[in-house]
Amino acid sequence: MMFLKKKNKSDKTFDHELKKTRESFFSKIKNIFFKKSKIEKNIIDHIENILLSADIGIKTTIKIINNLEKKIQKEKYVDSEELYNFLKKDIENIFLNVKNKCLEKKIKNYKKPYVIMMVGVNGVGKTTTIGKLAFYLKNKGYNLMIGASDTFRAAAIDQLEIWANKAKVSLVKQHMHADPASVAYDTLQSAKYKKKDIVLIDTAGRLQNRIGLMEELSKISRVMKKIIPESPHETILVLDATTGQNAFEQVKKFTSFVKISSIILTKIEGTAKGGVIIGIMDQFKIPIQYLGTGEKIQDLKKFDEKKFINYFFKKNEN
């Protein structure tokens, strides 16, 4: 897939969303490769530093660097453009190795309601993302309901209600400190009775209290299965792109006690650390479904890995 010289509206939007990452990461790599035709001795060191600075992660960076070194040794002589294309292909392979079935396709093929449990630590934009996802899916023609199972903070319930109203989606809630599993139970019972297509369940994000959170999420899942045995059909982890390497730690901790189906990466437009996408895909093999790209309710975009790679590696700036 090649980019046309004349940008369409979606390309311009993509430029805005990922501009900081591209300028700090891929533009530096491109400059290294195309300033000179011959490969300098320290080019591998330069690439390694750029990969690390983009928060791709140590393990993934080492893997990419080792592959580049093997390529140079095998070919004896590789010009800069050939090595550049090899680097692009190597990163493309990371994405190809992750099975990414579109969420909308999965929803379409399951008996309704399709239950999505949203997890993530406090402060990553989880509640906001639920509102955006509800709005996004509603515009796809689905009838939704949201369950406010983050009862640890009154602000979480209030904020979720604001977003539910914006998305014009019904909300099931109880009082602060109510049993989160009870809220989830009521939500699924109501959604089933009202023949909703999708249910979004918010959860608490107290990762510092890891054992308590694990028990809470397990209880929510068990209780939901009493209404819909297969639920939750999907567990989405919300991550903040601006946290860089800390996002890796969050994935590690959540995947240690919850089966994560996919990821939504928020605040991607405000960071130069978008390389974290590559590291997460490589290390955890968990697909990224959507990117949060702003504060408005419509600022949730479906993640397109082909477009992501081609955008960063395109040589043409026109």
Mean pLDDT for the stretch of residues 36-51: 75
Sort strands 300-302 and 288-292 into parallel, antiparallel or unpaired: antiparallel
Q: Would you state the pLDDT for residue 138? A: 96
Is it the case that residue 242 has pLDDT exceeding 90? no
Contact (CB, 8 A) for 225 and 242? no
Q: Would you state the pLDDT for residue 54? A: 79
Q: Would you state the pLDDT for residue 4? A: 36
pLDDT band, very low/low/confident/very high, at 24 (cuts 50, 70, 90): low
> Which phi and psi angles does 263 have, rounded to 5°?
-130, 145
Contact (CB, 8 A) for 160 and 148? yes
Residues 6+ apart with CB under 8 A from 208: none
Question: b or e along 235-264 (b: 16 or more beta carbons within 10 Å of the residue's beta carbon)?
Answer: bbbbbbbbbbeebbebbeebeeebebbbbb
Residue 132's identity, in one-letter code, is K
Retrieve residue 237's tokens.
């982890």
Q: Would you state the pLDDT for residue 207? A: 66
Burial of 30 (0-12, 13-18, 19+ CB in 10 A): middle
Domain boundaries, the chain: 9-99, 103-306
**pLDDT tens digit sequence for 88-110:** 899 899 988 888 778 888 898 88
CATH fourth-level superfamily of 103-306: P-loop containing nucleotide triphosphate hydrolases (3.40.50.300)
Q: At what angle do helices 58-75 and 80-96 cross, to 10 degrees?
A: 130
pLDDT band, very low/low/confident/very high, at 213 (cuts 50, 70, 90): confident
**pLDDT tens digit sequence for 151-209:** 988 889 999 999 999 999 999 999 988 999 999 999 999 999 999 999 999 999 876 66
Q: Would you state the pLDDT for residue 183? A: 97
Query: What is the dihedral angle through the alpha carbons of 103, 105, 106, 112, rounded to the nearest 10 degrees?
Result: 110
**Distance (Å, whole) CA 106 – CA 234:** 9
**Distance (Å, whole) CA 82 – CA 63:** 19
**Max Cα–Cα distance, the chain, nearest Å:** 68
Q: Give the architecture (CATH level 2) of 9-99.
A: Up-down Bundle (1.20)
Instruction: Name the pTM for this structure.
Output: 0.88
